[in-house]
Structure 1
């Protein structure tokens, strides 16, 4: 279903997986990866957004470390590799690459000019920073790791942001959640949903903590949010 395109930056080129909807022109959504690269889970999410009518694109944000990472969460060796990538990743450069992705897909013949973003895990942090640092029209953050250290950036938020937080997230402890909620719950651009009893990556199909009902609930809220904000 998907295709590969190249995105240019001052530092070089990287690839992105693109899935196109049936419509000739549509809003676009940038899908921001977890720590496992542009893997089957991310491609399935991208394809799913295209099926819902969006021009969806998932950029390879690990290209500066190792292009083409495509691993799963199913083995200890892959988890080890994923955390090595996470620890080597330059968040600021990653946000710039997301901005380059937004610019590229906004200029695509199939885009109507509106661009949203949705990110998971590491991508959840990047989705938050996409909302504060880029010209994306809307962003959705799933269980973003490290947002509590960057809540001051919320003063730059001028576009809508939807946040999904897992109450028992092993990578976002209760104290971190409290910081996020205190800083953002009354922000006019921010909508937050907390999923009680859920652990990190509750929406990752096939993952250890996948919860079908709450994944569907969060997915429905995400689609409604995009329909409201980018069409």
Structure 2
């Protein structure tokens, strides 16, 4: 269903997976990867957004470390590689690459000019930073790891942001969740949804903590949010 395009930066080019909707022009959504690269899960999410009428694009944000990463969460060796990639990844440069992705897809003939973003895990933190640092029109963060360390940027949060937090997330402990809520609750442009009993990556199909009902609930909330802010 998808295609590959190249995105140009001052440091070089990187690939992105693109899925196009049946009708265009349409609003675009940048899908921000987990620590497993642009794998089948990310491509399926991208395809699914296209099926909902969005021009969806998933950039290879690990390209500066290792281009073309496509691994799963199904083996210890893959987990070790994923964490090594995450540790080598530069978040600040990654946000700049997201802005380059936004610029590229916004200029695509199939885009109507509106661009949102949705990110998962590491991508959840990047989605938060997309809302504070880029000109994306809206962003959704699923179980973002490390956001509690980035809350100094909350003052610059001018874009609509939705967050999905797993109450039992082993990577985002309750203390971190409390800090996030203290900083962001009450902001008119922020919506936070907490999922009781859920662990990290509850919306990752095939994952250890996947929960179909809450994944569907979060997905429906995200789509409604995009419909509101992207049209």
The aligned residue for residue 105 of structure 2 is: 105
The aligned residue for residue 203 of structure 2 is: 203
The aligned residue for residue 166 of structure 1 is: 166
Give the total of aligned pairs: 231
The aligned residue for residue 155 of structure 2 is: 155
The aligned residue for residue 78 of structure 1 is: 78
Q: Secondary structure at the match of 2:150?
A: helix
What is the 5 A alignment of 1:49-64? 49-64=49-64
What is the 5 A alignment of 1:1-231? 1-231=1-231
Q: Matched residues in 2 for 1:213 and 1:22: separation?
A: 27
Q: Matched residues in 2 for 1:159 and 1:33: separation?
A: 20
Q: Secondary structure at the match of 1:57?
A: strand
Residue 84 of structure 1, CA deviation:
0.2
Q: Matched residues in 1 for 2:78 and 2:24: separation?
A: 39
Residue 11 of structure 1, CA deviation:
0.5
Q: Matched residues in 2 for 1:24 and 1:47: separation?
A: 15
Q: Unpaired runs of 5+ in structure 2?
A: none
Q: Secondary structure at the match of 1:165?
A: strand
Normalised by the size of structure 1, how large is the TM-score? 1.00
Structure 1 ranges of 4+ moved more than 2 A: none
* Residues 173-197 of structure 1 deviation map (CA, whole Å, 9 limit, x = unaligned): 1110010011001111100000000
Q: Matched residues in 2 for 1:5 and 1:141: separation?
A: 24
Q: Matched residues in 2 for 1:24 and 1:100: separation?
A: 21
Residue 159 of structure 1, CA deviation:
1.2
* Residues 108-129 of structure 1 deviation map (CA, whole Å, 9 limit, x = unaligned): 0000000000000000000000
Q: Unpaired runs of 5+ in structure 1?
A: none
Q: Matched residues in 1 for 2:154 and 2:3: separation?
A: 35
Q: Matched residues in 2 for 1:90 and 1:152: separation?
A: 18
CA RMSD of aligned residues (A): 0.4
Residue 226 of structure 1, CA deviation:
0.2
Residue 24 of structure 1, CA deviation:
2.0
* Residues 151-208 of structure 1 deviation map (CA, whole Å, 9 limit, x = unaligned): 1101111110000000000000111001001100111110000000000000000000
Q: Secondary structure at the match of 2:108?
A: coil
Q: Secondary structure at the match of 2:7?
A: strand
